[in-house]
């Protein structure tokens, strides 16, 4: 079956989102050039690139490092993927393996080679601003096995979210997709179940108390509300995170004032914990 361009783009956006969630859960820094373009991760001082739209991985190489070291890394990559899929003389390129799990296998092969570039000459990933403050963690609680997915499709958790935000649990659709905005964690449908009236976004790493980051803020307050399949009927935006920085609260307050003109309400929720019970509460901003 040949995929049309729009469907292929949609699938790439979902794959990129899944990979980013895994990287963030593991605390791995990355650069993302676009939703369907390239994701870069630093491994052993090398820049490991995931060219998602073109279907290959590539590891950059420093010219002042030895050819013997390059071949050592190549041997580990070949062991992982087979010689028929590994190309390049001055770079290591892997084709025909494009899933997030394959990219982690690629990173693992580079790591296992034990070839580490000198920090003075190696590629250095531009670190994304990451807030190290965190809220409550789910470990040893009544949601010990929960993570972001459980907070969007799990009725036990979503019941708390809906009660706090005023959404109707029985009108919620999880992982709702649009052609332009991508896949949204959750939407509340209208009485006819034909169009969304609320959108719900949960921060990646919520099980570890992750604060709202720039990516999820932008999706919630800019990308999703401007989507043509959502904008005409949207009445409420609900965001859940382990907490919020002062800078983000200022941005959210400013953006919420603009959205009020269109009668769109912005509700912020954060997780809390009393002994071993996880809950959610409204954040005043």
Contacts (Cβ under 8 Å, ≥6 apart) of 243: 133, 134, 135, 209, 211, 212, 270
159, 256: one domain: yes
Choose one of 53, 82, 112: the last residue of a domain: 112
Range of the domain at 267: 150-282
Are 177 and 211 in contact by the 8 Å Cβ rule? The answer is no
Rounded-to-integer distance, Cα 272 and Cα 38, Å: 36
Rounded-to-integer distance, Cα 49 and Cα 57, Å: 6
Rounded-to-integer distance, Cα 99 and Cα 94, Å: 12
Q: What is the pLDDT of residue 284?
A: 93
Are 185 and 114 in contact by the 8 Å Cβ rule? The answer is no
Q: Which residue has the tokens 């296998």?
A: 105
- Please say whether the dihedral angle defined by the alpha carbons of residues 102, 105, 107 and 110, taken in this order, is positive or negative: negative
Q: What is the pLDDT of residue 98?
A: 67
Question: How many of the other CB atoms lie within 10 Å of CB of 274?
Answer: 9
The torsion angle over the Cα atoms of residues 25, 29, 34 and 35, rounded to 10 degrees, is: -10
For residue 19, give the CATH number of its domain.
Answer: 3.90.1150
Question: 198 exposed, middle or buried (CB, 10 Å; 0-12, 13-18, 19+)?
Answer: buried
Q: What is the pLDDT of residue 179?
A: 64
87, 15: one domain: yes
Count of the separate structural domains present in the chain: 2
Per-residue confidence of the chain (285 residues) as pLDDT tens digits?
Answer: 344 445 445 555 666 777 777 787 676 778 876 554 688 888 887 888 888 777 788 887 655 567 788 889 999 999 999 988 898 877 899 988 668 888 889 998 988 888 887 665 556 665 554 455 678 999 899 998 877 777 877 899 999 999 999 999 999 998 887 666 677 889 999 988 789 999 999 998 898 898 998 888 988 998 899 888 899 999 999 999 999 998 899 999 999 998 999 999 999 999 999 999 999 999 998
264, 159: one domain: yes
Rounded-to-integer distance, Cα 36 and Cα 9, Å: 7
- Please say whether the dihedral angle defined by the alpha carbons of residues 213, 21, 185 and 98, taken in this order, is positive or negative: positive
Rounded-to-integer distance, Cα 204 and Cα 53, Å: 23
Choose one of 89, 112, 135: the last residue of a domain: 112
For residue 155, give the CATH number of its domain.
Answer: 3.40.1350
Question: How many of the other CB atoms lie within 10 Å of CB of 228?
Answer: 10
62, 172: one domain: no
Q: What is the pLDDT of residue 161?
A: 96
pTM > 0.75: no
Q: Tokens for 260, please give them.
A: 């009020």
Q: What is the pLDDT of residue 137?
A: 92
- Phi-psi label, residue 151: left if phi above 0, alpha if psi -120 to 50, beta otherwise: alpha
Rounded-to-integer distance, Cα 39 and Cα 102, Å: 14
Rounded-to-integer distance, Cα 13 and Cα 179, Å: 10
181, 253: one domain: yes
Residue at 44 is within a domain: yes
Q: What is the pLDDT of residue 145?
A: 80
Q: What is the pLDDT of residue 65?
A: 62
| Beta-strand pair 196-202/236-241 | parallel
Question: How far from the centroid of its chain's Cα atoms is residue 120's Cα?
Answer: 31
């Amino acid at each position: 079956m040949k995929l049309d361009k729009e469907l292929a783009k949609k699938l790439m956006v979902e794959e990129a989102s899944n990979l980013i969630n895994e990287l963030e859960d593991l605390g791995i820094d990355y650069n993302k050039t676009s939703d369907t373009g390239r994701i870069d991760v630093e491994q052993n001082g090398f820049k490991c690139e995931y060219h998602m739209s073109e279907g290959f991985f590539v590891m950059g190489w420093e010219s002042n490092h030895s050819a013997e070291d390059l071949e050592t890394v190549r041997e580990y990559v070949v062991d992982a993927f087979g010689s028929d899929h590994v190309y390049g003389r001055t770079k290591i390129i892997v084709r025909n393996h494009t899933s997030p799990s394959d990219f982690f296998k690629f990173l693992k092969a580079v790591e296992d080679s034990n070839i580490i570039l000198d920090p003075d000459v190696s590629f250095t990933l531009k670190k994304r601003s990451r807030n190290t403050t965190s809220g409550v963690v789910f470990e040893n609680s009544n949601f010990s096995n929960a993570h972001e997915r459980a907070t969007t499709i799990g009725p036990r958790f979503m019941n708390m979210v809906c009660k706090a935000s005023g959404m109707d649990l029985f009108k919620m659709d999880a992982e709702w997709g649009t052609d332009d905005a991508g896949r949204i964690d959750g939407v509340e449908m209208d009485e006819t179940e034909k169009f969304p009236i609320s959108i719900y976004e949960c921060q990646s790493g919520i099980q570890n108390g992750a604060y709202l980051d720039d990516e999820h803020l932008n999706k919630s307050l800019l990308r999703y509300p401007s989507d043509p399949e959502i904008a005409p009927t949207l009445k409420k935006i609900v965001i859940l995170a382990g907490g919020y920085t002062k800078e983000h609260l200022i941005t959210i307050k400013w953006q919420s004032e603009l959205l009020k003109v269109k009668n769109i309400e912005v509700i912020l929720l954060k997780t809390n914990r009393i002994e071993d019970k996880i809950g959610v509460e409204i954040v005043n901003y």
